[in-house]
Structure 1
Amino acid sequence: MRFKRLINPLLGVAMLGLPLSVAAQESDPDTGLVMAEGWETVRSNCTACHSANLVTQNSGTRNHWEYLIRWMQETQGLWEFQPETEDTILDYLAEYYGPKEDTRRPALPRTLMPDNPYPTVADSG
């Protein structure tokens, strides 16, 4: 009994280190989309033309997603959405597929970089 009382608080403390999004997000097994408010609207509108993978492997701000929608409308034949539908799609994409901060590796230190074989501006003086 004492052991159980000790484990529950430790588990709670350990869970505090996890982002809420990781602990609370469930993905649709068919599309991989995060099952949250608006996901069905995204599924029905976005996967009508392309795989959900095109959504889940990308990220961006609300403005970026809006730019992509406009590009698809202008060049790919995407229909115009009702304003409420578009807002739902943009809200969802910005929330669950927003900019990622940890997707690029840090730059290599200069000491690990190979010599540049091309002339630089400093060399042409």
Structure 2
Amino acid sequence: MKITIALRPALLALALLVPLGAAAQETDPETGLVKAEGWQVVKANCTVCHSAKLVTQNSGSRNHWQYLIRWMQDTQGLWQFRPEMEATILDYLAEHYGPKAGARRAPLPPDQLPPNPYKQADSSG
């Protein structure tokens, strides 16, 4: 009985760390893509040329994903999509691989940075 009581605060703390819905998101075992509306269209079109990890390890706004699609079309030979197919892809990517809040650590304060080896020496002294 003591073990159960002792675990409750730890389980509550752990539950607070997991984003809502994260545990409920099923992923495709082959690609790692979140199984949600549009995932099969993304799988069929994006993994023809590159690994799905290129998608799952990145994030961005809808505009960012659209920029990447245009770049691939302009420079990598990606075909043009029908407008409704492109909208499905962008909706999916923006929803499931959108910008991550707080994904980067805050910059270090100047007093915690190492000396800059490229800083010009003060010659006024």
TM-score, length-scaled by structure 1: 0.79
Matches within 5 A, 1:1-125: 15=15, 18-119=18-119, 123=122
Match of 1:8 in 2: none
- Taking the aligned partners of 1:47 and 1:124, their CA distance within structure 2 comes to 57
Offset, 1:115? 1.8
Give the gaps of 5 or more residues in structure 1. 1-10
In the TM superposition, what whole-angstrom CA distance separates every residue of 1:7-64 from its partner, at most 9, and x where no partner exists?
xxxx89x857642231321111100000111000000010111110111111100001
User: SS of the counterpart of 2:23?
Assistant: helix
Which letter maps to 2:108?
L
- Taking the aligned partners of 1:114 and 1:18, their CA distance within structure 2 comes to 35
Which letter maps to 2:54?
L
- Taking the aligned partners of 1:72 and 1:88, their CA distance within structure 2 comes to 17
Stretches (4+) displaced over 6 A: none
Deviates more, 1:44-53 or 1:97-106: 97-106
Match of 2:7 in 1: none
- Taking the aligned partners of 2:104 and 2:96, their CA distance within structure 1 comes to 18
CA RMSD after TM alignment = 2.5
TM-score, length-scaled by structure 2: 0.79
Which letter maps to 1:97?
Y
- Taking the aligned partners of 1:71 and 1:21, their CA distance within structure 2 comes to 32
Number of aligned pairs?
A: 114
